[in-house]
Amino acid sequence: MLPTLCFAGVVGKITGKVLDKETGQPLMYANIVILGTPLGAMSLEDGSFMILNVAPGKFSVQASYVGYTPLVISEVVIEPDITRELLFELEPTIAKEIEPIVVQAERPLVQVDVTSTRNIFLADEVQALPVDNPVNVVNYISGSSISAAGTHIRGGRATEVGYYIDDTPIQDPIQNNALVNLSTQSVNEMVVFTGGFNAEYGNASSGIVNIITSEGSDEFHGSIEHRMYLPIHMLWRKSDTGDPLDTGELRQRLNLTGPIYKKGKANLKFALAVEATEWDDWQPRIESLNRPGKVRLYNGTLTFQYGGTKLKAVVNVENDEHVSSYDAYRLYERLLVPETWRWTNNDNYRFALSASHMITDNSFVKGTFSVLDGTMEIAQQGKKWDPTLTYQENQDLYDWDLDVRRDEENFVISGDNPYYDHQKRRIYTFRGSYTHQRGRHEVKTGVDLSLYDVQEIDVFASTQNYYIFEYDVQPRSGAVYAQDKLEFEGLIMNLGLRLDFFDPNHKVFKDFSHPYDLNAPDSLWHGPNRDQAPIELERPGGGGLVDADIKWKLSPRLGASHPIAENSYLHFEYGHFFQMPSFDYLYENEKFHTRGRWLIVGNPDIEAEKTVAYEVGINHLLHTNTAVDLTFFYKDITDMSETVVLGPTAESNPQGRENYSTFQNVGFGNVRGFEINLKRRYYNNWRYHGAYTFMVAKGFSSNWNEGALRRFDDEEFPTQQFYLDWDRRHSFLLTGGYSKEKNWSADIAITYATGAPYTDPKTLSKKPSRNNARFPSISNVDVEVHKIFEVFGLDTDIFVRITNLFDQRNLTNWDDTDQDLRNWLVANPGDYLGPFGDYTVYGPPRSVLGGVKVSF
């Protein structure tokens, strides 16, 4: 998979010509059809033809003409909004009936009609990578880097990526990641945009991940797979209890696809993917602990097509239950009382119905309606928190023991886990578009609308402090856009303009410096007595609430490509990209609860975060089967959300209750670098993709909470930009494999990146030099080997997957804002485990999995 460059979307088109092979003359009124579909066209006077609204996938395309031998081009790969050009040269014949000539198409390595960097993964390429969640393919593209927060694209925050299924957003408005996960079996194609994207996509600043699901097949196919952890470590590690790294992983997968009904122009197909996984330890580190987990995935698709009209219904269900690794009180701190570990329970589902209709041969419309619903709870088992009850009533109802006690090494030995988090998200989305091909212009206009219903309860309860932050909100967002793809002989241009709006549908403080006004009936104060608001934050006539403003953002997008030689072209992309921050930043603690010492409240009037991105590059075909791309990129990032501390005594009393934290658009930064990608497509059984990325990412904040942390540590606001937490200067990637069809195959994935920066705790001061030290570099090698046998006429695939082959200890999750970790590192240089021996600061160790897959 080599980054190519594109005009965004979820369908492609086929153009080309039909000629007489002997004379080279065009054949008018030739019949061109995509076999197995109702799609087709008739050639014009110059022999040219065009077929719009073609779903991604592999097809056979046939051209026929009276008096000529039909010609079929097989293995034609259709990619989202890429124009695939075909040339049919037909041979004259006098026979009345003749078998068509079949030739195989080659997927172009250099696509001239594209303008911004993207990465396309076909279904078999996703299967070849060592991932079980298709979203994780972003770890195997150039320009990506990892940190404790997740995967970053070209220096942006991990939360700046937009996630889509079949061109419909699946973004979690609280976490700003994918709300529902899929099985890799349900993937038809994937598109990952990293260098910009056209106007039909919004609410993302760094990239887009669009997962295109299978639509079913004309013939019945299926597979059953069983996979398990192999205790290979026992061969070289002596242990009285067996393999110390045995995760107990068991995974079963079922995949079915085929026709339901087909008659005339009517065609109904289905695709079903079911996956069940269980672990004894879902997050192993140096040795396995009793951290069980289980996941159930159900993905189903029904596709009905009648002539130029198509309906597609998709259902995705995810049930996930595991011991939580997200815990403000670190898991290893409670190693002696595992019964108090928090559990995460996720129940997510999605339903989407899309309809498209060909109005004419040159135009079509499409509409999609989806419902995305997710519920997450993180809590100690058997312990809940009901915000309608008082502190004492909750303690009595759920038998809370909030008196935390520790041993001489500071490990917790008794006391319940004081954290509880519950999130409920439901999003209704409609997307509608109209596409028209007029001469050399492919024009697309569209409208988006999303309605949100989001609730969160976040509780910390102890004998010393008691916080309960909650909100229940119903904001709205939408957009209108227009884009035009101009295709000329020596120039391709993509022009786009998008207008977004976001309505917080909420009240906001009239004066953030003085939010309280005892004389205003709508002034927020939920203390034990309304007259006990901190006097520094009061101002008669100054407090109270007003409606938050509706936010409007206009985003221009421009891309161009120009051939500079027979096998080379220059590409350029420029665009403005906006993204609303997490709803926590807008609505956290909407009722302004002031229990506890550290007070934080959201800002519904916060603006969208903004990125202006540029890229320029050259794509060159080195050989028939090898291509190289060199791309330079720059990003200017502004209006990043960050906490600020407000209150008239904030300077003199940084830790007083007269202060409170809220969110403002005060962060900014920039990213610059370049990427080199080299790809050899599958030829003579070999394929590979190599990439190198150089990147410098700088800014004023890596963490949304840095403003409050600076105030807590009594630090000044920085006067110069510093390296961001995910700034990995050099990174390398190599994926490839060798295979013999229906015999055996071997795939390998190698990654390397220089160390991420952190702040040396020995240098902390009132005005510290942030991120002035570097962690060790990280590297990983994954290998997967398959051997296929035929058993009772069925293809039986026996495979082994080894992740982290050389058992590298990669430091990826060390938090330099954690006071315990900082003090430990000062006293114990080079020891990043902290006082509790927390191995979760490292990535996973070597894991060996084996399984069998039977296809039919």
Q: Report pLDDT for 400.
A: 82
When pLDDT is averaged across residues 725-747 and rounded to a whole number, the result is 93
| Predicted pLDDT at 111 | 78
Higher-pLDDT residue of 726 and 466 is: 726
Q: How far apart are CA 246 and CA 411, in angstroms?
A: 26
Mean residue pLDDT across the chain: 87
Q: Is residue 241 scored above 90 in pLDDT? A: no
Q: How far is CA 643 from the centre of its chain?
A: 25
C-alpha 65/C-alpha 33 separation (Å) is 12
DSSP H or E segment with residue 123 = helix 123-128
**What is the β-pairing status of strands 144-147 and 150-153?**
antiparallel
Give the pLDDT mean for 807-824. Answer: 87
Give the Cα separation of 197 and 8 in Å (integer): 6
Closest to 782 in 3D by CA, of 803, 807, 758, 808: 803
What local confidence, expressed as pLDDT, does residue 72 receive? 92
- Helix (H) or strand (E) holding 184, with range, is none
The pLDDT tens digits for 626-676 are 999 999 999 999 999 999 888 654 444 444 445 778 999 998 999 999 999
HEC per residue, 55-69 = CCEEEEEEEECCCEE
Which tokens belong to 64?
A: 């026929």
Spatial distance between the Cα atoms of 165 and 183, rounded to a whole number of angstroms = 12
The alpha carbon of residue 823 and the mean position of all alpha carbons in its chain are separated, in whole angstroms, by 35
Confidence bin at 800 (pLDDT 50/70/90): very high
Higher pLDDT, 298 or 263: 298
pLDDT band at residue 597, thresholds of 50, 70 and 90?
Answer: low
Q: How many CB atoms lie within 10 A of CB 815?
A: 16
Maximum separation of any 2 CA atoms in the chain, in Å: 100
Residue 712 Cα distances to 80, 645, 716, angstroms: 49, 10, 11
41's tokens:
């066209």
DSSP assignment, residue 457? E
pLDDT value at 424 more than 80: yes
Region 341-359 average pLDDT? 94
More confident residue, 472 or 385: 472
Q: What is the mean pLDDT of residues 590-606?
A: 79
- At 13 the three-state DSSP class reads strand
**How far is Cα 422 from Cα 456, in angstroms, rounded to an integer?**
6
Distance separating alpha carbons of residues 404 and 418, to the nearest angstrom: 9
pLDDT band of residue 233 (cuts 50, 70, 90) is low
Q: Do β-strands 161-165 and 722-723 pair in parallel, antiparallel, or remain unpaired?
A: unpaired
Kindly state the average pLDDT of the residues 553-563: 94
Mean pLDDT of 579-597: 84
Helix or strand (DSSP H, E) at 827: helix 819-827
Please give the structure tokens belonging to residue 849.
């999995």
Q: What is the pLDDT of residues 751-797, one digit of tens each?
A: 999 999 998 888 877 677 788 999 999 999 999 999 999 998 899 99
From 304-308, 432-436, 543-547, 564-568, the region with the lowest mean pLDDT: 543-547
- Confidence bin at 535 (pLDDT 50/70/90): low
Cα–Cα dist 799/809, whole Å: 25
Q: Model confidence over 150-201: pLDDT tens digits?
A: 899 999 999 999 999 999 999 999 999 999 999 999 999 999 999 889 999 9
Cα–Cα distance between 142 and 852 in angstroms, integer?
A: 32
pLDDT at 2 over 60: no
Residues in CB range of 122: below 8 A, 6 or more apart: 58, 77, 189
| Model confidence at 410: pLDDT above 90 | no
On the question of pLDDT at 537 being above 80, the answer is no
| pLDDT tens sequence across 282-335 | 877 776 678 899 999 999 999 999 988 999 999 999 999 999 865 544 677 888
What tokens appear for 79 in the block? 């990619």
The region of weakest confidence among 67-81, 504-518, 734-748 is: 504-518
pLDDT single digits (tens) 492-528: 999 999 999 999 999 888 888 777 766 655 555 544 4
3-state helix, strand, coil split of the chain in percent (to 5) is 10, 55, 40
Say how far apart CA 110 and CA 492 lie, in whole Å. 14
Given a cut of 80, is residue 348 above it in pLDDT? yes
Residue 138 has pLDDT above 90, yes or no: yes
More confident residue, 613 or 82: 613
Supply the pLDDT for residue 656.
46
Strand partners, 351: 315, 371
Burial class of residue 809 in the structure, from the number of CB atoms within 10 Å of its CB (0-12 exposed, 13-18 middle, 19+ buried): middle
Name the pLDDT band for 1 (thresholds 50, 70, 90). very low
Q: Which of 30, 26, 92 is nearest to 61 (CA)?
A: 30
List, for residues 31-48, the tens digit of each pLDDT value. 999 998 888 899 988 999
Confidence of residue 482 (pLDDT cuts 50, 70, 90): very high
